[in-house]
Amino acid sequence: MIAIETRYHGATNTKPSSVTARTHDGHKIRLTWDTDVDAYDMHARAALALCHKLGWTPKGKHGGKHMHTLQGAGTRAGYVFAFIDEDYQIKITEAEACNTQ
């Protein structure tokens, strides 16, 4: 399973604002920031654009696994997206999650 990290880049004198999506092994893509789209959706667009560039799709194949959902969560630096597959889900009850002992 590979995570996609996204990050916002502010405008400079020569480039408009943008968002990059990259994997740990160096694959990346940069999209110009669309001011009509909220921040999460812009980061998700970048992650999906990188998936498309690499031939990965939520309903396609990656590493022989059928991937179901691309899920994102915020970090200090931007967002991280990963395909969620039932084989990788941690299944615990609410009581187990709340047990701190």
What pLDDT, in 10s, does the model give residues 65-100? 445 677 889 999 999 998 776 665 666 666 666 765
Overall pTM surpassing 0.95 (yes/no): no
pLDDT at 34: 96
Query: Can you give the residue range of the structural domain that contains 78?
Result: 4-98
CA 79 to chain centre: 6
Look at residue 8 and tell me whether its pLDDT is greater than 70.
Answer: yes
Domain count, the chain: 1
The gap between the terminal CA atoms of the chain, to the nearest Å, is 30
Calculate the alpha carbon distances from 16 to 20, 29, 69, 100 in Å.
Answer: 13, 15, 31, 47
What pLDDT, in 10s, does the model give residues 13-67? 999 999 999 999 999 999 999 999 999 999 999 999 998 898 876 555 555 444 5
